[in-house]
Amino acid sequence: MKEYVIVTDSACDLPVEYAKEKNLEVVSLKFNLKGKEYINDLAFTSMSATDFYQHLRDGEASKTTQVNVDQFITVYKKILDSGKDVFMITLSSGLSGTNNSARLAKEIVLKDYPDSNIILIDSLGGSLGEGLMVMEAIKMKEAGKTVFETETHINTFRMHVVHVFTLDDLTHLALGGRIGKFSFWLGTALRIKPIITANEKGILRPKNKILGRKKSINMLVDHVVQTYTGIYNQDIMIAHADCLEEAEKVASMIEDKLHVKPKLNMMGTVIGSHGGPGTIAIFYTADKR
């Protein structure tokens, strides 16, 4: 059985310690702030999370950049030259062009490596939702599953990973062109805190519009409690955009009701660029997305 290496992009928001422990290959996306380009890696080496989210609170806009084709080519060739196959999980094609870059790189590289395999999975999600799929793929690999067995499982698994989150304000969705100016003005004026999910195509869709932060957090927790099944995986992951105290409160509420202790991590700069500070996102498995 041929060995394989699991690869993902930095939008997975997994803890850097976990990535190192599991020898996870991570390709970094980038973001641009005040005219300067920074690397989004899991260790926040280019800019600390605290500094990044403070810039956003101060009114700065962050623009994100997908991984380019050449970056993927370099990673693929390094792995294939070692005699191993590639198992790649990317940020949703509904949110970024990164998956398409990975696909183009695959087509180019396999012309020179016809006996090798590059398995490419569109996570149809992001942040720790993507990360949850990476963790599941690692479990499959550690259990001795082949690259094709892991592919089959993850393609099913991804359709059961729920992505649900709430924002503290709509500014960064508006800056990213994801809501219209009138909707932004109306939402801000009414203090609306939306509940947003990712659908079966990995595209963000509003689920509820809640008046006030406390109510939105309560509804977020209620959604998790009502839909969580742990059908494939019992983990509940919470990513927060520099709002640890509120995220810990959410985790405690979920643990009290489901008797499962969620795992928390800081939301990275790429996903955080669109949600903005105060975003709380929860990821888990259910009967359906």
CB 120 within 8 A of CB 99: yes
| pLDDT the model gives residue 193 | 80
Measured N-to-C along each axis, helices 69-81 and 98-110 cross at an angle, to the nearest 10 degrees, of: 50
| pLDDT the model gives residue 77 | 98
Domains of the chain (ranges; CATH) run 4-159 (3.40.50.10170), 160-285 (3.30.1180.10)
Provide the edge-to-edge strand list for the sheet that holds 161-166.
204-211, 192-198, 161-166, 280-285, 237-240, 263-266
| pLDDT the model gives residue 173 | 61
Strands 4-9 and 25-27: what pairing? parallel
For the record, the structure tokens of 22 come out as 């599991």
Strands 204-211 and 192-198: what pairing? antiparallel
| pLDDT the model gives residue 179 | 46
CA dist., res. 96 & res. 211, Å (int):
30
Cα dihedral sign for 82, 86, 89, 92?
Answer: positive
| pLDDT the model gives residue 174 | 55
| pLDDT the model gives residue 195 | 85
| pLDDT the model gives residue 172 | 59
The ranges of the chain with pLDDT < 50 are: 177-190
